[in-house]
Amino acid sequence: MTLTARRLVPANLRSRALVALALLGFAAPALAVRIDGHIDPGEWRGAKHITDFRKVQPLNGEPGSLPTEAWVLSTPKGLAIAFRCTQPPGVPRTRQRIRRDENAQVDRVNLMIDFNGDGRTGYDFTVTLSNDIDDGVITGETTFNNDWDGNWKHAVSEDAQGWSVEMLIPWYIAPMKAADGGERTVHMYLDRVIGATGERDAWPVASFTRARFLSDFTPVTLPAYNQPLLAVTPYVVGVRDQVAGRNHGNAGADIFWKPNGQTQLTATINPDFGQVESDDLVVNFGAEETFFTDKRPFFTENQGIFDFSLLIDNSQLIYTRRVGGPSDDGNGTADVAGAVKLNGSVGATQYGVLAAQESGDAGRSFAALRVEHDFGTQALGLLATRVDRPFLDRQANVVGIDHRWQPNDKLTVTSNVVGSHIDQQGHLVTGVGATSVVEYEMNERWTQQWLAMHFDDKLDINDFGYLPRNSLNYLHWEVQRRYSNLPADSRYASHRWRFRVIGIDDDRGVKLERQLRIIRQSQLRDGGEEDIQLNLNTPAYDDLLTRGHGVLRTPAVHVLDWQRTSPRKGDWAWKSELTAAGSDFAGMRRIGYEVMFEPTYFFSDELSFFGGPDYKFQPGWLVWQHDNLIGSFDSHSILLDAGVNWNISGHQELRVKLQALGLDARLRGAYRVMPDTRALRTNDPVDDFSVRNLGFQVRYRYELAPLSDLYVVYARGGYLLDPRYEEAGSQFRQSFNLRDSEQLLVKLSYRFEL
């Protein structure tokens, strides 16, 4: 049972009396709010009533085509929100069921809130017409991460003229700054999406397609409450390994304690860091590491404060997949003995502390400290991390300082400086990096962006963080133009054009890229989306291909990509992609292509099947062999991505996911990369090769209570690099025989709120 909420009041008795009288209209009815989807005027008496919803998709600020109303009310049990969405019989309603955090074009409403009002971290709560939910964290103004799952209430009701939603967001959902005088000022954004057309109507007029989003939320002052919570979630898991022919089990617990509004402690003991979610198949022969998101509950719970991006391709100072990743001694993945995380605030300063320990002699120790201070138009932060790796006799220390400046409502400047200090077996290496982005919204139609990055060749943050490469100097200038008032007879509702000029050199002055990028992102009136991107590249150099054994001159390679998604119409929805690109080796003299088509068939609102092929032809594909030897291959690949989604009831779901890949690579020539950057033909032996890969999972989930689940998961997979040529079609068919791993997992977790 949740602890009783305590109302925050001023210390001064006279002020206390004045606030109590002023807020009497809010406090009295708040006690009677029942989250059942039916908006009772008596329950919502005294709430803030919002009716001015305007179009933000397309982004023209016009009144919404259908009326929308919302009510906002502060209660001891949490922040209560109600929506009334008028939708008469003539406007189709999309009642399609979705799994939690699935992105689908359905009728829905969104509450997005920044509890501290400083534009640093926001929370997104989505409810669909079918009472399914999506929740996530917003950082960096416009970056959404749906890995986080919160515990909150929601309900939906429907009638002939529309539908209604009620939500209750507990005050313990996130750490918050101390209230001022018994009141709390949060920044809020509400919107409603019409599934049949894709129209999004919002209050206020703000959009995540702009440089600023979180900072454009509207301040709302509410009575403040303090809602402490102690929650313990023990788990047990049993696994049958069909390949090894053995059984094993595990048990542990997650602990969540929020003693007051400003402090939150999360801990995990002998955590189950095994995934019940499967990663997508990736075949990577490149020099840059593949990035994967993290769904593990401990690392998604209020992780936003630790967000510290270096602006390039998923870069972060804290990449939580490092913890419990491949062990330093090479014996599989590491076991995590425990981890703890403390979040809180003192005045305008927020802090976070994170520590994790792996077990065994090769176990690594991870630690991080995060501090941020809000100065109003400016914010300054520090993130320091340390990793001890005893098996390698290595200690890695990284410190980053980030700064954000918003002098007015048009200009945003975000910058950071990072330094690394690596001590391995007494050998010290230090590196530095810095990034800065300037975004200037000239008016409602035009926006400019300038971005600069510098990472020296000694910068190394990858013991705890993720950086795809160092030795980089990057500059770009981008201008955007929005078209949001297209003719009524156009099939498009809006366009956003982006023109970007990019220059990249490594830290020795080698020209890595000179590119003109043209992008058009379009919203269609049927609710679908269409994106077109053209990259025009000049000849340049590749300094990563040979892993430090030479720099290769590369030809001009242009890329044209088209993507289209169509939401559900009747029983069908689909998405497709077409790509044409030049060759790594021959440039535009040989053109490769990729074709993807994935339809979805809906047997009902609850049951659907998706599946489709992705076929790719890559001529002159360069693959590193060893030292300065590379091979040029003609490659074909076939990928099948298919699955079944069945929402059996509000508490049960069955998911089937299948990915199978076959790839062939026939050698066209072996080459040595010479000191003058040329590729010289050689007779060194380089073989054709083939690859097959399989990932298959059947997952049943029964929700016993919020954040309490029973999982039954069957998974099978495998990977084979075949040192001979066999056509992609044959490799694809044989991929279904792979059985490197096969297991049946049963996991039970139950959350106790004390």
Q: Write out pLDDT tens, residues 719-741.
A: 999 999 999 999 999 999 999 99
List pLDDT tens digits, range 100-119.
888 889 999 999 999 999 88
Residue 368 pairs in a beta bridge with 354, 385
Give every CB contact of residue 12 below 8 A, 6+ residues apart in sequence. none
Give whole-number Cα distances, 588 to 69, 537, 563, 637, in Å: 55, 11, 22, 21
Which of 227, 247, 277 terminates a domain? The answer is 227
For tokens 């967000």, name the residue.
307
Burial classification of residue 155, based on how many CB atoms lie within 10 Å of its CB (0-12 exposed, 13-18 middle, 19 or more buried)? middle
List pLDDT tens digits, range 453-466.
999 999 999 999 99
Higher pLDDT, 24 or 561: 561
Tokens encoding 715: 């998974």
CB 693 within 8 A of CB 281: yes
**Range of weakest confidence among 51-65, 173-187, 424-438, 595-609:** 173-187
Q: How many domains does the chain contain in total?
A: 2
List pLDDT tens digits, range 492-550.
999 999 999 999 999 999 999 999 999 999 999 988 999 999 999 999 999 999 999 99
Q: Quote the CA–CA distance of 701 and 718 in Å, as a whole number.
A: 24
Q: Using the 8-state DSSP alphabet, how is residue 733 labeled?
A: H
Task: Confirm whether 423 is domain-assigned.
Answer: no
Which of 206, 227, 248 terminates a domain? The answer is 227
Confidence bin at 16 (pLDDT 50/70/90): very low
Higher pLDDT, 643 or 9: 643
pTM of the model: 0.89
Q: Using the 8-state DSSP alphabet, how is residue 19 labeled?
A: H
Q: Quote the CA–CA distance of 105 and 493 in Å, as a whole number.
A: 15
CB 633 within 8 A of CB 653: no
Give every CB contact of residue 604 below 8 A, 6+ residues apart in sequence. none
Task: Confirm whether 620 is domain-assigned.
Answer: yes
Chain centroid to CA 335: 25
Tokens encoding 663: 């790839």
Chain centroid to CA 647: 23
Chain centroid to CA 261: 26
pLDDT for the residue numbered 494 = 96
pLDDT for the residue numbered 274 = 54
Residue 51's CB is within 10 A of a number of other CB atoms, namely 11
CB 423 within 8 A of CB 453: no
pLDDT for the residue numbered 6 = 40
Task: Confirm whether 576 is domain-assigned.
Answer: yes
Give whole-number Cα distances, 308 to 121, 438, 565, in Å: 12, 17, 32
Q: Quote the CA–CA distance of 92 and 550 in Å, as a whole number.
A: 60
Short-list 55, 350, 484, 404, CA closest to 211: 404
Short-list 64, 47, 65, 39, CA closest to 202: 64
Q: Using the 8-state DSSP alphabet, how is residue 304 labeled?
A: G
Task: Confirm whether 126 is domain-assigned.
Answer: yes
Which of 181, 203, 227 terminates a domain? The answer is 227
Higher pLDDT, 598 or 346: 598
Give every CB contact of residue 208 below 8 A, 6+ residues apart in sequence. 142, 144
pLDDT for the residue numbered 101 = 83
Q: Quote the CA–CA distance of 189 and 202 in Å, as a whole number.
A: 7
Whether the predicted pLDDT of 417 surpasses 90: yes
pLDDT for the residue numbered 4 = 39
CA atoms within a 13 Å half-sphere pointing along the CA-CB vector of 376 = 2
pLDDT for the residue numbered 72 = 97
For 449-469, the DSSP string reads EEEEEEE-TT---TTTSB-S-
Give whole-number Cα distances, 40 to 20, 43, 45, 155, in Å: 24, 5, 9, 13
Boundaries of domain holding 674: 543-754
Tokens encoding 93: 């309603």
Q: Quote the CA–CA distance of 47 and 57 in Å, as a whole number.
A: 27
- Residue 113 three-state SS: strand
Residue 593's CB is within 10 A of a number of other CB atoms, namely 14
pLDDT for the residue numbered 31 = 52
CB 466 within 8 A of CB 315: yes
Q: Quote the CA–CA distance of 203 and 218 in Å, as a whole number.
A: 8
Task: Confirm whether 364 is domain-assigned.
Answer: no
Whether the predicted pLDDT of 137 surpasses 60: yes
| Region of residue 360 (phi > 0: left; psi between -120 and 50: alpha; otherwise: beta) | left
Q: What is the CATH number for 56?
A: 2.60.40.1190
CB 743 within 8 A of CB 247: no
List pLDDT tens digits, range 267-300.
998 876 556 677 788 888 899 998 888 878 788 8
Task: Confirm whether 60 is domain-assigned.
Answer: yes
Q: Quote the CA–CA distance of 308 and 311 in Å, as a whole number.
A: 9
What average pLDDT does this structure show over 585-591?
95
Tokens encoding 588: 């535009």
- Residue 624 three-state SS: strand
List pLDDT tens digits, range 213-256.
999 999 999 999 989 999 999 999 999 999 999 999 989 999 99
Strand order in the sheet with 68-75: 48-50, 68-75, 78-86, 162-169, 153-159
Task: Confirm whether 355 is domain-assigned.
Answer: no
Share of the chain above pLDDT 70, in %: 95
For tokens 């058009």, name the residue.
520
Task: Confirm whether 358 is domain-assigned.
Answer: no
What average pLDDT does this structure show over 117-126?
93
User: What is the pLDDT of the chain when averaged over all its residues?
Assistant: 92
